[in-house]
């Protein structure tokens, strides 16, 4: 009987051990499944260190700075090109370019002064160019055509016109020899027109008190009509105002 009990105990113990084993196997299987599940889900999740995150942030910041630099570079492209060109020139060539730039500004200012003061009697400036060591063209000379012809049969209008021509000729701060020649001719035309105007005014004064003459057909002719002379028509004769 004791053997039977012992057997029963051993059998029970075996059964219990088997149950423990089964439970252990099930637990182990469950853990493996969880591990597989974790590994499966971890395939879609990337974890990085703080140092790596800092590097990524730096890359983003650098990308933003690069975009700003690109915009700035586009704006300063022409300036950069000029600077590069200057760097490629020798010292003598750079001095030559500086002289040409100064001359260009001087010529344009000079001729624009003529054109502005001359108004309707002056043409548009035209320039003579010289190419500099940097490959650019610079104005080194120029002229403005201006009309110095008197206005036919109108001394007062001629005087007004010649005064404007005179001002246009001497408009620049440093008039050239050609400019002064035009000014002298305008002054001479003013003197001549003034003399003509004085004669006309004198004749008008005399005729206001002189008797009238009667023609054969009975029409009245004033002494002005009898003594009037035709000054003739003068063509436009343009001169050049130069730098």
pLDDT per position as a tens digit, 213-226: 444 444 433 333 33
pLDDT, position 228: 35
Indicate if the pLDDT at residue 20 is higher than 90.
no
Positive or negative torsion for Cα 68, 71, 76, 81: positive
3-state secondary structure of 149: coil
Which residue matches tokens 């005087």?
159
Tokens of 217: 């057909």
pLDDT, position 207: 77
Region 176-203: what's the mean pLDDT? 95
Cβ atoms of 148 and 240 within 8 Å: the answer is: no
Element (H, E) at 144: strand 137-147
Tokens of 100: 């040409």
Q: Are strands 238-242 and 137-147 parallel, antiparallel or unpaired?
A: antiparallel
Tokens of 202: 């004198």
Indicate if the pLDDT at residue 19 is higher than 70.
no
At 105-141, the pLDDT tens digits run: 999 999 999 999 999 999 999 999 999 999 999 999 9
Rounded to two decimals, the pTM is 0.54
Cβ atoms of 179 and 242 within 8 Å: the answer is: yes
């Amino acid at each position: 009987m004791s053997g039977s009990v012992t057997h029963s105990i051993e059998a029970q113990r075996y059964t219990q051990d088997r149950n423990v084993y089964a439970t252990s196997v099930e637990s182990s299987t469950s853990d493996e499944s969880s591990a597989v599940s974790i590994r499966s889900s971890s395939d879609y999740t990337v974890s990085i260190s703080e140092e790596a995150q800092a590097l990524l942030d730096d890359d983003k910041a650098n990308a933003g700075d690069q975009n700003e630099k690109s915009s700035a570079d586009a704006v300063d492209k022409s300036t950069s090109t000029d600077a590069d060109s200057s760097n490629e020139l020798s010292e003598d060539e750079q001095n030559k370019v500086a002289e040409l730039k100064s001359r260009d500004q001087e010529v344009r200012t000079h001729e624009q002064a003529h054109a502005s003061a001359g108004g309707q009697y002056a043409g548009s400036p035209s320039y003579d160019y010289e190419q500099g060591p940097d490959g650019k063209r610079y104005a080194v000379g120029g002229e403005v055509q201006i009309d110095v012809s008197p206005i036919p049969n109108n001394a007062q209008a001629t005087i007004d016109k010649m005064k404007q021509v005179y001002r246009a000729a001497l408009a620049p701060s440093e008039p050239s020899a050609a400019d002064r020649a035009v000014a002298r001719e305008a002054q001479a035309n003013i003197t001549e027109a003034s003399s003509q105007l004085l004669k006309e005014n004198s004749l008008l004064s005399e005729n206001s008190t002189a008797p009238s003459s009667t023609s054969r057909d009975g029409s009245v002719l004033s002494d002005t009509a009898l003594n009037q002379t035709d000054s003739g028509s003068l063509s436009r004769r343009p001169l050049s105002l130069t730098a």
